[in-house]
Amino acid sequence: MQQTLGIYGGTFNPVHFGHLALAHTLQDTFALGEVRLIPTGVPPHRAPDVSATQRLEWLKLSLIGKKNLVTDDREVKKGKVSFTFDTLTELQQEQPHSLLVWLIGGDSFAHLPSWYRWQELLEIGHLVVANRPGFNKLPVEIAGEFAKRQVEASPQALAQGKISVLPLPLMSASSTLIREKLARGEDVSDLSPIAAILQQSGLYYKNT
């Protein structure tokens, strides 16, 4: 049986229950021994409201007691724009015998042709796409790649250069919603595992 490593990157700005549910779904669907959650240090497309170090710390706190879900701080440590291609290439070099099973949202997948070295990205590991709104409106070039690479979402179908669609867990949480509620001084205990810490930080109140 081949070795596998789950990869889930994002800004986690801030982390919420939906992030954790998605990580668990990825892990369970593909029988992964480990899923690494990698906070983006300096995103190439948008600037987060809080520092990378703070987002990393919050993510670590949210994963306490979560078996086989771990943080990876490599992009935060770099302190510069991190491209997915570079991060995955680095991980593959570190673990040459493992198949990287990496997750992105359906909305991000639709914009993949704008990513750095996107065609080469598709050859690194097995791409898993979370079925979010916008996934059904793919540009022609990415729709063609999806059509020829798609396989079922199962451990048996995992293979380099293939793509699977992961059904989203039913969660209403989103980082945007949390930021909006915090800006209004509203409770977010039903949306994030670190709700009290977020509210006490006051870091999102500046959005009012």
Contacts of 59 (CB under 8 A, 6+ apart): 12, 15, 37, 39, 71
pLDDT in tens, 80-134: 888 999 999 999 999 999 999 999 988 889 889 999 999 999 999 999 999 875 5
Q: Residue holding tokens 């509203």?
A: 186
Cα–Cα distance for residue pair 204/48, rounded to 1 Å: 11
pLDDT value of residue 47: 66
Which two three-digit tokens encode residue 8?
A: 């889930």
Cα–Cα distance for residue pair 59/14, rounded to 1 Å: 8
**Is the pLDDT reported for residue 135 higher than 70?**
no
- Please give the average per-residue pLDDT across 171-183, as a whole number: 88
Contacts of 89 (CB under 8 A, 6+ apart): 124
* Helices and strands counted in the chain (H then E): 9, 6
Range in 11-25, 41-55, 79-93, 155-169 the model is least confident about: 41-55
Contact between 10 and 45 under an 8 Å Cβ cutoff? The reply is no
Domain ranges of the chain: 3-170
Task: For residue 207, name the pLDDT band (cuts at 50, 70, 90).
Answer: very low
pLDDT in tens, 34-81: 999 999 988 776 666 789 999 999 999 999 999 899 999 999 999 888
- Higher pLDDT: 173 or 61? It is 61
Query: What type of residue is 198?
Result: L
Which two three-digit tokens encode residue 33?
A: 């021994």
Contacts of 92 (CB under 8 A, 6+ apart): 98, 100, 124, 125
Query: What type of residue is 22?
Result: L
- Choices 3.10.20.520, 3.40.50.300, 3.40.50.620, 3.40.190.10: CATH for 3-170: 3.40.50.620
Nearest CA among 166, 162, 198 for reference residue 182: 198
Task: For residue 208, name the pLDDT band (cuts at 50, 70, 90).
Answer: very low
Task: Look up the pTM and report it.
Answer: 0.92
